[in-house]
Structure 1
Amino acid sequence: MANPFLQTDFEIRWSQLTPEHIALAIEQALTDAQTAIDEIAGRDVKTVTFENTFLALEKSTERLNQAWGKVTHLQLVADSPALRDAHNAMLPKVSAFFARIPLNAALWERLRAFWNTAAADELSPVRRRYLEETVADFRQQGADLAQEKRARFEALQSELAQVTQKYAENVLDATNAWELIVEDEARLAGLPEHAKAAAQRSAEAKGKAAWRFTLHMPSQEPFMTYLEDAELRREMWTAAVAVGGKAPHDNSPLVLRILALRTEKAAMLGKANFADLTLERRMAKSAATALAFVEDMGVRAKTAFAHECLELEEFKARSLGTSAGRLAPWEIGYWAEKLRKVRYDFDEEQLRPFFPMDRVIGGLFELAKRVFGLAIVERTDGSAEVWHPEVKFYDMRDDGGRHVGSFYADWHPRESKRGGAWMDSFITGGPRPDGSRAPHLGLMCGNMTPPVGDKPALLTHREVQTIFHEFGHLIHHLLGEVEIKALNGVNVAWDFVELPSQILENWCWERESLDLFARHHETGAAIPEEMFTKMVAARNFRSACAVMRQTAFGKMDLLLHAKPELTAGLTGDVESVARAAIAECLIPTEPASPTIVKRFTHLFSNPVGYAAGYYSYKWAEVLDADAFTRFKKEGVFSRKVGAAFVEHILSKGNSADPAELFRAFMGRDPELTALLKRCGLAA
């Protein structure tokens, strides 16, 4: 029987994917992939074609990518000591293998040989795009390095993979290591009932008759927003900001090592810094362009930001009859929510009963049907296994009945599961040479408010937006129609990849679309018009603080990766450097709140990931706000506009320059106006 990690069935048999199979599977996949690459590298240079070089190279690692993808996915959603050990034992080998591919001189010679043929100039646009992207990938990964430097470059890549994996493990382990047990119910005054019930259930699961709180967001967020007991809020805040900052989970030395390795990598490839290396093939093109964009957003928000900070200080002082002064960092969320209630007579918790998880998912699928012509049905016949009982499996068909893809959805937190929300893929399908089409297989994961007892999972509006966001990424993958898998789906420039996800969030603010799913879980009633009006009015409450928060993250990221001199030779705490880089973007508090540099998994839990690319969220907001104006103009349920978005954006992957794709959809280049209006920074 084939190793379960090497099976290529569309329906993955998760029950068979146990840690003892990992080493044998990955070793075999590595051997097979190396054999395929050796065959390409050994080919007579005079016989090279696009098919026997570039296409053969793409296919050479497909089996390995699928097998390793299952391993890394399980490590994210079902972590265990045995799984972690098996994953980490193979990680250096897998990392080293992929690092060696561009350093294979014979392989590079064959690729360049075809690159210089007349046949290369006659390729179809998609094939030419793949040829150019592959050559650029090789050069960016050291293909032109002198022979004596290649061993160091390979070792560097391998170490970077291991150090970033350890960073991610530290964040997860530190998050799970902390709990707060409250035995006196009186101290929970102000906490919403759903949060209190969830905490009681969490305590019961640990055999305790009390209320248990953790650093997972469904527990932490309502606690820090509503709990009246400031001392308890301080205790949770202290624990949260310490994640990744204390032994045995201290990421301080890892951050410095990661930055040093990235700087060395950039220098070996002839770049001034890692940010310039990373961004040369993205929409921004350079660190200077990205930094100028981020700083411009900060300048536009600066005046309003200062006003919002002062306003909150004065509001607290008036409420308590004291003189105004700096708030403690564990007071910001609490007093901001009180100010929101006073100003708009609106409490986000009032919306929660209107967002039961099942209705939200159902409404999302109905929206997908109306706008994009997609029919989504849960598969319940047992033919598709899942990795946890809470996970669901769905099939997606287009309006012609064609099976475009399937996906898993895993929405609730577990201790064995990484925090945050994400989308990923298991199988990339698309057009086949015979004219047929293979379906794609993907997944969506999150850490949303779970159900409590016999009550359904009731979500916050922010959680609803997160689900829509990840679904946008998902359909970008599932609707890909590019013949070359490496160019399909979400394999696009990092500062373009958030357009499909962020544009979906806009429907969470439209009355027409909200009425599809925002229904009271007991009565079925829609959100009352008065409440909807308040919700929209409060949308830009403290929006300058929100803009400045994203500016801070993007600026810290870019400065750490564009100015290696900031951390070169540093042996102490990286916090002081990170804070100095973004001090003017931070809400002034007493005491000062540390940055998230030691728990910033977007930047440091992957060899590249969002490193030097966190600005992409705000960059893509410009694109999504602008693109959604077409839906607003022609109808939020417009099938015509939805079809155009599928045709020009979702189906095209990286088959053309992203700026060209945006122009094809909008008929022009993006404009900043729509975003500034949406976040209240322009009339």
Structure 2
Amino acid sequence: MSAPFLAQSFHVRWSTLNPACIESDISASLLRAEQAIDALISQDRGRLTFERVMLAYEDALKELNEAWGLVTHLDAVCNSPEIREAHNKMLPLVSSFFAKIPLNEHLWDLLLTYSKTDQARDLTGVRRRCVDEALAYFRQHGAELPVAKKQRLEEIEAELSQATQKYSENVLDSTNAWELIIDDPAKLAGLPASAVDAARADAAAKGLGTEEQPVYRFTLKAPSLIPVMEHLEDAAIRKQVWEGSGTIGRGGNYDNTALIWQILKLRNEKAQLLGKKNFADYVLERRMAKSGQNALDFTHNLHAKVSEAFRREVIALQEYVADKEGAAVRLLEPWEVAYWSEKRRRELYDFDEEQLRPYFPVDGVLSGMFRIAERLFDIRIKERQTVCIDGADADAPEGDGSGVSAQDGGVVETWHPEVKFYEMRNAEGVHVGSFYADWHPRDSKRGGAWMNYLKGGAPPSGDRDRQPHLGLICGNMTPPVDGKVALLTHDEVCTIFHEFGHLLHQLLGNVEIPSLNGVNVAWDFVELPSQLMENFCWERESLDFFAKHHETGSPIPDGLFKKMTAARNYMGAVAIMRQLSFGKLDLELHMHHATDENTDLDQLARKILADYMFPTGTEAPTMARRFSHLFSNPTGYAASYYSYKWAEVLDADAFTRFQEEGVLNPEVGRALRDSILSRGNSDDPAKLFHDFMGRDPDPNALLARAGLLTPLLA
């Protein structure tokens, strides 16, 4: 297939996406986008309309956005030397193109000229917001800067794109570079059977050990690392794994320290070029927080409310360990905290999270989650048959080049055999969107979990038919072992619901302007739908839709459910403080330390987080070197990690409506869909929240849910 990255069919023909085509396809798309922008700004200024200016501007960038989205997606899920080389070669050119758009004085003049026409002044609703948001975006990104500063801004964007990409590669490569092989099963005492089986299967997949004499391979990927830190009795091995986690982005060929300072310095220079004191003020200007100081004040206020409970929880765990050891109270080591915390939880609540695994087979979780969404949001989700075709067979004459093979009865191509594909339709049967799901770890796949979209949809408008969304959700959950079904932890289930919440926000987006549709909202509002969906993982009524024993089909027993909910807020203040520490570090680095490159990064982080971190005997290296949310993208969550807690206040409050009116009440679900999920950035997020709840947010909702709202703390 010629120009496979530029194919316009809805279903992606993944087998044709040869890395050798990236340079030519993206170069061609860049040229066409430039020509479209030139045609846009050369039109007759006396005939300007919303369609000829605003919609034409969005159309001019559509092909490039979609083509480059495919490249960056492959870099995230199928990383290879060929993809990495081609991606990195085109990255500066693509970054430069997008950086130049708001700096194009002729395009800026066109937008200003149109905004002053009678038609533009009479606009209302989403079209009015489209113009206002476009003008604000261009101003925020340098449209009114003098020429010399515009040139420097372009250079900064190119440097940031390359530095953040290298940071991301270092995290992936250093994660993959570490492994621990254990040949003595006696050393695995305490480790759940699921983790032992996974370690054995992982070793076998690498050609290590035999059936008669198996060995066990442990890595720094979450499904391998977390069970070790929480359950393994051998403290020396836990220490070894903890020390291994400290090598991610740190030391040797993969050290991110210099890159962090480079990124911080470039971001700070960018902010000051654009008239802001620091990068946080620049980024948050058009978000709910409005400024870095407001975000920092939010963090400090929540910190003050949980500090006493945090201190009590730390002391309680230290005293528990001292009692078990028959020794004096001491500081725990970093590789001891999760282990003793889990041990104490099992003792206090007679509850072990591993007891829940049999009730969370991955396919059952997904099926039940879809049924909940169907009931609440009046939609239908159907799995399609898929096939993963080797690139060598990409030119085989099956299908029509659309990514759907007619020969195989309409199966949809994917990028990996484990990937699944689903269609979403509304109650009338109209196709509103489709999505891929890729849930298990691979060496070629970046860590974490995320949602994204490859094609942004829109409702019918004028002569245009409905355009369905094409999204994706990815994670690194417990993989299947020896052909058996993958059984998830409850935390992993919550993560799947979280990413699905993002996906619903995108696929149910029903705004006619693509740039205002779906998840294209203020960053401190975007986590509301995702975090709200996590609540359904805790309610009996919703759990019964998907928590079924993988062998018997029975629901979680009442006794186990009671233990699970009783233990929900165990070490809750520690968990909140951990999240606050991430946001605090993020804001402080971007607001007060962006040019401190000669400062020891670990000492600085410890100073910033002195009252936020669980005190330990050995000081841990800062997670900044592997903090991909902050440093693997020119912007990403930079100066915005606080938004998880900001949105958690909103989601804790919003979910009270479900609790009061019915956890699976379709009327409440429709209200959420109509007030928030379908509205994208068509209105101010504070108004959208008010539309759903009928009032402003209750700032104490999060503390109440966490069991920390006492008269002393209120």
TM-score by length of 1: 0.98
Q: 2:671 and 2:556 mapped to 1: Cα distance?
A: 31
Q: Do structure 1's residue 342 and structure 2's residue 347 form an aligned pair?
A: yes
Displacement of 1:11 in angstroms is 0.8
- Give the CA deviation at 1:155: 0.7
1:449 is matched with which residue? 478
Counterpart position of 1:375 = 380
> SS at the partner of 2:246?
helix
Deviation of residue 579 (structure 1)?
2.1
Counterpart-to-counterpart distance in 1, 2:473 and 2:111: 36
- Residue matched to 2:111: 111
**SS of corresponding position for 1:376:** strand
CA-CA distance at 1:293 after TM superposition: 0.6
- CA drift of 1:124 comes to 2.9
Q: Distance in 1 between matches of 2:416 and 2:119?
A: 50
Which segment drifts farther, 447-456 or 567-576?
567-576
Task: Give the SS at the match of 1:378.
Answer: strand
Q: Which residue of 1 aligns with 2:533?
A: 504
Q: Could you tell me which residue of structure 2 aligns to residue 560 of structure 1?
A: 589
Query: Would you say 1:682 and 2:682 are equivalent positions?
Result: no
Tell me which amino acid in the other structure corresponds to 1:637: L
**Kept after mapping to 1: 8 A contact 2:538/2:565:** yes
Indicate if the aligned counterparts of 2:129 and 2:682 stay in contact, CA closer than 8 A: yes
Compute the RMSD of aligned alpha carbons: 1.1
Deviation at 1:572, TM superposition (A): 4.8
1:11–1:383 Cα contact (<8 Å) kept: no
Q: Secondary structure in 2 aligned to 1:395?
A: strand
Q: Are positions 1:399 and 2:404 aligned together?
A: no
SS of aligned partner of 2:424: strand
Corresponding position: 1:253 with 2:258: yes
CA deviations 1:193-249 (Å, max 9, x no partner) are: 010000001111111111000000000000110000000000010010221111200
Alignment length, in residue pairs? 681
Offset, 1:362: 0.8
What's 2:444 paired with?
416
Aligned residue number for residue 418 of structure 2 = 390
2:313 counterpart SS class: helix
Q: CA deviation at 1:44?
A: 3.6
How is 1:267-666 mapped onto 2 (pairs within 5 angstroms)? Answer: 267-380=272-385, 381-432=409-460, 433-434=462-463, 436-563=465-592, 566-666=593-693
- Distance in 1 separating the partners of 2:64 and 2:606: 41
Equivalent-residue separation in structure 2 for 1:301 and 1:23 (angstroms): 52
Aligned residue type for 1:80: S
Q: Distance in 2 between matches of 1:575 and 1:133?
A: 39
SS in structure 1 of the partner of residue 680 of structure 2: coil
Q: 1 CA distance for matches of 2:694 and 2:464?
A: 31
Secondary structure, counterpart of 1:453 in structure 2: coil
Q: Percent identity?
A: 56
Structure 2 unaligned spans of 5+: 210-214, 386-408
Equivalent position of 1:55 in the other structure: 55
Counterpart contact for 1:252–1:573, Cα < 8 Å: no
How far off is 1:384 after superposition?
1.2
Answer with 71-80 or 101-110: which moved more: 101-110
Q: Which secondary structure does the structure 2 equivalent of 1:606 belong to?
A: coil
SS of match in other structure, 1:597: helix
Partner letter of residue 329 of structure 1? P
Q: Which amino acid aligns with 1:359?
A: G
Moved more, 39-48 or 347-356: 39-48
Task: Give the Cα separation in 1 of the matches to 2:179 and 2:599.
Answer: 29
Kept in 1: contact 2:630–2:637 (CA 8 A): yes
Task: Give me the whole-angstrom Cα distance separating, in 2, the residues matched to 1:317 and 1:446.
Answer: 38
> Which SS does the other structure have where 2:524 is aligned?
coil
Distance 2:319 2:369 in 1: 41
| Secondary structure in structure 1 of the residue aligned to 2:411 | coil
Q: Shift of residue 526 of structure 1? A: 1.1
d(CA) in 2 for partners of 1:107, 1:242: 47
* Aligned match of 1:81: 81
CA distance in 1, matches of 2:672, 2:84: 40
Contact 2:601–2:622 under 8 Å retained in 1: no
Q: Which runs of 5+ in 1 are unaligned?
A: none
Does 1:187 find its partner at 2:187?
yes
Q: How many Å apart are 1:435 and its aligned residue? A: 6.2
The one-letter code matched in structure 2 to 1:108 is W
Distance in 2, Cα, partners of 1:567 & 1:23: 34
Q: What is the CA–CA distance in structure 2 between the aligned matches of 1:103 and 1:44, rounded to whole Å?
A: 21
In the alignment, what sits opposite 2:388? none
CA distance in 2, matches of 1:377, 1:30: 36
Q: CA deviation at 1:410?
A: 0.2
How far apart, CA to CA, are the structure 1 residues paired with 2:503 and 2:511? 16
The answer as to whether partners of 2:268 and 2:594 remain within 8 angstroms in 1 is: no
Q: How many angstroms does 1:567 deviate by? A: 4.1
Confirm or deny: 8 A CA contact 1:411 1:445 kept in the other structure: yes
Bigger Cα displacement from structure 2, 373-382 vs 404-413: 373-382
Q: Trace 1:73-222 onto structure 2 (pairs within 5 A).
A: 73-209=73-209, 210-222=215-227
* SS of residue paired to 1:437: coil
Residues 45-86 of structure 1: CA distance to partner in whole angstroms, max 9, x if unpaired? Answer: 333332222221111110000000000000000000000000
Q: SS at the partner of 2:611? A: helix
SS state at 1:593 partner: coil
Superposed structure 1 runs of 4+ greater than 4 Å apart: none
* 1:117 shift after superposition: 2.0
- Residues 567, 574 of structure 1: 8 Å contact kept: no
Q: Distance in 1 between matches of 2:217 and 2:139?
A: 52
Contact kept, 8 Å, 2:11 with 2:412, in 1: the verdict is yes
Offset at residue 665 of structure 1 (A): 0.6
Q: Distance in 1 between matches of 2:148 and 2:474?
A: 43
Q: Determine helix, strand or coil for the equivalent of 2:446.
A: coil
The CA distance in 1 between the partners of 2:367 and 2:116, in whole Å, is 52
CA distance in 2, matches of 1:283, 1:387: 37
Look up the SS of the partner of 1:375 in the other structure.
Answer: strand
Distance in 2 between residues matched to 1:493 and 1:427, nearest whole Å: 20
Cα distance between partner residues in 1 of 2:594 and 2:515: 35
CA distance in 1: counterparts of 2:179 and 2:356, whole angstroms: 28
After superposition, give the CA deviation of every residue in 1:521-548 in whole Å (9 maximum; x if it has no partner): 1111111101100100000000000010
Alpha-carbon offset, residue 43 of structure 1: 2.6
CA distance in 1, matches of 2:646, 2:177: 36
Note if contact 1:348-1:461 (Cα within 8 Å) is conserved in structure 2: yes
1:101-145 CA-partner distances (Å, limit 9, x unpaired): 111111111111111222211113111101111111111111111
- The 2-side partners of 1:77 and 1:567 are apart by 31
Letter of the aligned partner of 2:244 in structure 1? A
Q: Residues of 2 paired with 1:257 and 1:56: CA distance?
A: 37
CA distance in 1, matches of 2:280, 2:222: 30
Deviation at 1:594, TM superposition (A): 2.4
Deviation of the 1:382 alpha carbon = 4.7
> Given that residues 375 and 397 in structure 1 are in contact (C-alpha distance below 8 angstroms), is that contact kept between their aligned partners in structure 2?
yes
Point out the more displaced range, 575-584 or 162-171.
575-584
